[in-house]
Homo-oligomer: A and B are copies of this chain.
Amino acid sequence: MAITVQEIAEKLQLSKSTVSKALNNASDVNENTRKMVVDEAIRMGYNLKNLKTQAKKRLCIFIENMDYDNIEQFAYEIILGFKSEALQNNYDVDIVPFTMNNKTKYKYDDYLLDNKYSGGFLLGFSFHDSFIQQLNNTIYPTVLLDNYIDNENVAWVGTDSYEGIQKAVNYLISQGHTKIALLNGGYNSRVSHERFYAFHAAMADHNLTVPDELIGRGDYTENCAERIVPGFLKYDVTAIVCANDKMAFGAIRELRRLGKSVPEDVSIIGYDNLPLASYTYPALTTIHQSRLELGKAAFFVLQKIFDGIPINKMLLKPRLIIRDSVSCIIKEK
């Protein structure tokens, strides 16, 4: 049964006309009243199609090198979380998939100005990217997923890599593994550097040093595993920590191709906990990133930058999800 303006008005003890004005984004409605009404309308299940959001405020999500079309993909829930919070706070959100074209065509600040955006959320950009370099001087509040820029208007949102890699390494070691390799992402993303240092730190906590040959520099795609995993096997690794689930899927596929079974011969831990991770064979043990919450956090951080709070980093807690891709080899020792 559809929620009516009348019901919202009663719930909020406001006049029906005020609620109606608010939902239609009339200019003579106080901003706080409008936000409260829309907020409550959404909570009560009011049909959002009836919501006129000619919002004065607009935000832009720039995305590159990341899939977000369906829930199976990494960025999908992040964008969903960001958009839902933004809508409830009277922001319109556009998604701009960036190609080299757009980037050469536009300067970041010019693009936001010309399109009347008040801030941006950037996902998947390469650290050395000319476009992202412009962020060093942007005057627009901007949030980056897993990347860092030294500018008071730009903040980093992500999951704590040190804690995540530490949980992965500690778990492997608790299962008797000591010859552990890291299949890392490309170093054009700041987060890859963090996972690299975090891996060495976590191993060092157990007095284990890691030879360079056990650090593989991938690119976060499934295919890069083919190039890197065979090298690990020369060193009799019993476990591989992958910097994302896609590379973990690739590692499992490549190990199978080489006649190795997971987890009997080699244990695998992923990072992200994509929905697919529970359906692979073996089901993937991985580090969970709360993607919906990451998107919400990104919006909150953007708001706080608007409020003049100089946020550098907002990091969420990772969680170890134990499935079937890690074997306990303590008996074998």
State the A residues within 8 Å of B (CB).
11-14, 18, 29-30, 32-33, 36, 39-40, 150, 152, 159-160, 163, 290, 293, 296-297, 300, 304, 307-317, 319
Query: With a CB–CB cut-off of 8 A, which chain B residues contact A29?
Result: 13
**CA distance in complex: A13, B307 (Å):** 25
Please judge, given known A-B contacts A13-B33, A14-B14, whether A296 and B313 are in contact too, CB under 8 Å: no
Please judge, given known A-B contacts A290-B310, A313-B314, whether A30 and B12 are in contact too, CB under 8 Å: yes
Query: With a CB–CB cut-off of 8 A, which chain B residues contact A304?
Result: 297, 300
**CA distance in complex: A317, B319 (Å):** 27
**CA distance in complex: A297, B311 (Å):** 9
Are A313's CB and B310's CB within 8 A? no
Please judge, given known A-B contacts A13-B29, A312-B163, whether A317 and B36 are in contact too, CB under 8 Å: no
Are B152's CB and A317's CB within 8 A? yes
Query: With a CB–CB cut-off of 8 A, which chain B residues contact A13?
Result: 18, 29-30, 33
Are B11's CB and A30's CB within 8 A? yes
Q: How far is the CB of A175 from chain B (nearest CB, A)?
A: 20
**CA distance in complex: A29, B13 (Å):** 8
Closest Cβ neighbor of A294 among chain B residues? B309
Q: Which of B150, B309, B317 contacts A297 (CB 8 A)?
A: B309
Please judge, given known A-B contacts A297-B304, A313-B314, whether A39 and B30 are in contact too, CB under 8 Å: no
A and B contact pairs by CB, cutoff 8 A, 23 listed: A13-B18, A13-B30, A14-B33, A32-B39, A33-B36, A36-B36, A150-B163, A159-B312, A290-B309, A290-B310, A293-B308, A293-B309, A296-B309, A297-B311, A300-B300, A300-B304, A310-B316, A310-B317, A311-B314, A311-B316, A311-B317, A313-B313, A313-B315
Are A315's CB and B312's CB within 8 A? yes
Q: How far is the CB of A193 from chain B (nearest CB, A)?
A: 12
Interface pairs A-B: 9 shortest CB-CB: A310-B317, A312-B317, A293-B309, A313-B315, A32-B36, A160-B312, A312-B315, A314-B314, A12-B30
Query: With a CB–CB cut-off of 8 A, which chain B residues contact A316?
Result: 309-312
Q: Which residue among A293, A312, A315 has the maximum number of chain B CB atoms within 10 Å of its CB?
A: A312
Closest Cβ neighbor of A40 among chain B residues? B32
Query: With a CB–CB cut-off of 8 A, which chain B residues contact A297?
Result: 304, 309, 311
Q: Which of B18, B293, B307 contacts A310 (CB 8 A)?
A: B293
Closest Cβ neighbor of A310 among chain B residues? B317
**CA distance in complex: A14, B30 (Å):** 10
Q: How far is the CB of A33 from chain B (nearest CB, A)?
A: 6
Query: With a CB–CB cut-off of 8 A, which chain B residues contact A311?
Result: 297, 314-317
